[in-house]
Structures are given as structure tokens and as C-alpha cells.
């Protein structure tokens, strides 16, 4: 995985280097055309071909400026995308580590996420009592887990509806 990351980092570095060189050349062309465009005037008595050449120079300058802005925007988007991918990778590693920690813990090691069987049994017993459900020892033993064997509290005996 780190070999792939190094390859990606190298590709990003090569791209940024090429983009920087292209940007420098583009800036030189922009400055050259800008000074030329600033010094020329379009007059009404100019021949049509001369006006056409002057307009082509202005359009070329405009295109170079637009390309320069687009390249800068693309660079920002690329950096944001790279940062987002790095954040996602870091988050994935953190989540995986957290899951490893949670699954490696067992109730005997003070796992804060392990179920408290006694508390769960007490709550279940309370709900059975509130609902007036009588669970006999025979029914519990038929399930295979008798409270005395599992360490869970025995269900409370409730009064049935005919005993009220």
C-alpha cells in the first residue's frame, strides 16, 4: 500500500512541476501580449486585416488569461481532492483501529462495550414482572440456559390475572 501511495505522491509531484513550468511560460506570453495589446489602438481608418489581427491578439490574450485561471482552479481542486482522500484514508484507518480494539476486548477485560449480563437480566426480569408474565423454571430449563447455571438472576414470580 505504501508503494502505491509513494507512486501517487510522485505522480502528483510530477504533475505540479509540469503545471508550474507551463504556468511560467503562460505568464511570459500573457505579459508579452498584454504590453503589445496595451500599446496598439484600433482606429476606424485601419484596414480590415489589421483590425482582424489586433482582435486575434486580444482574443489570444483573453484565452491565455482564462487558461491561467482554469489551471489555478484545477490545481486548487486537485489539492482539495488529495486532502479529502488523505482524510478519508486516515478516517478509515482510525475506524479500523477502533473496531479492532472493540472486538479484541472481552467482558472480562473491562470492555466498556461488553453487555452487562446481570443488568440485562434484571431489566428483562423487571419487564416480565411488569407485563405479568410468569416464567417457570421448566420453561427456562427447556431453553437450555437455566439462570442458576448462567449466572443470571432468576425471573421473579408474578401474580397472574386470576390471582389479583
pLDDT digits (tens, 9 = 90+) for 113-142: 555 666 766 766 676 566 665 556 565 555
> Does the residue 164 lie in any domain?
no
Q: What is the rounded distance in angstroms from the CA atom of residue 125 to the CA atom of residue 80?
A: 55
pLDDT score at 73: 92
Q: How many domains does the chain have?
A: 2
My answer on whether 131 and 59 are in the same domain is: no
pLDDT score at 139: 57
Contacts of 128 (CB under 8 A, 6+ apart): 135, 155, 156, 158
pLDDT digits (tens, 9 = 90+) for 1-51: 566 667 888 888 898 899 899 999 999 999 999 999 888 888 888 898 988
Instruction: For residue 16, give its domain range.
Output: 2-108
pTM value?
A: 0.50
pLDDT digits (tens, 9 = 90+) for 42-87: 888 889 898 899 899 999 999 999 999 999 998 899 888 888 887 8
Amino acid at each position: 500500500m505504501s508503494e502505491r501511495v509513494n507512486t501517487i505522491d510522485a505522480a502528483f509531484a510530477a504533475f505540479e512541476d509540469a503545471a508550474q513550468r507551463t504556468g511560467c511560460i503562460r505568464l511570459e506570453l500573457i505579459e508579452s501580449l498584454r504590453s503589445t495589446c496595451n500599446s496598439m489602438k484600433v482606429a476606424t481608418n485601419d484596414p480590415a486585416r489589421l483590425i482582424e489581427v489586433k482582435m486575434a491578439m486580444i482574443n489570444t490574450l483573453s484565452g491565455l488569461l482564462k487558461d491561467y485561471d482554469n489551471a489555478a482552479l484545477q490545481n486548487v481542486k486537485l489539492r482539495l481532492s488529495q486532502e479529502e482522500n488523505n482524510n478519508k484514508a486516515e478516517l478509515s484507518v482510525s475506524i479500523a483501529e477502533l473496531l479492532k480494539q472493540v472486538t479484541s476486548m472481552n467482558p472480562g477485560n473491562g470492555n466498556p462495550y461488553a453487555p452487562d449480563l446481570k443488568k440485562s437480566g434484571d431489566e428483562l426480569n423487571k419487564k416480565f414482572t411488569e407485563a405479568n408474565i410468569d416464567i417457570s423454571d421448566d420453561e427456562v430449563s427447556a431453553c437450555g440456559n437455566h439462570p442458576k447455571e448462567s449466572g443470571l438472576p432468576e425471573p421473579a414470580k408474578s401474580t397472574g390475572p386470576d390471582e389479583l
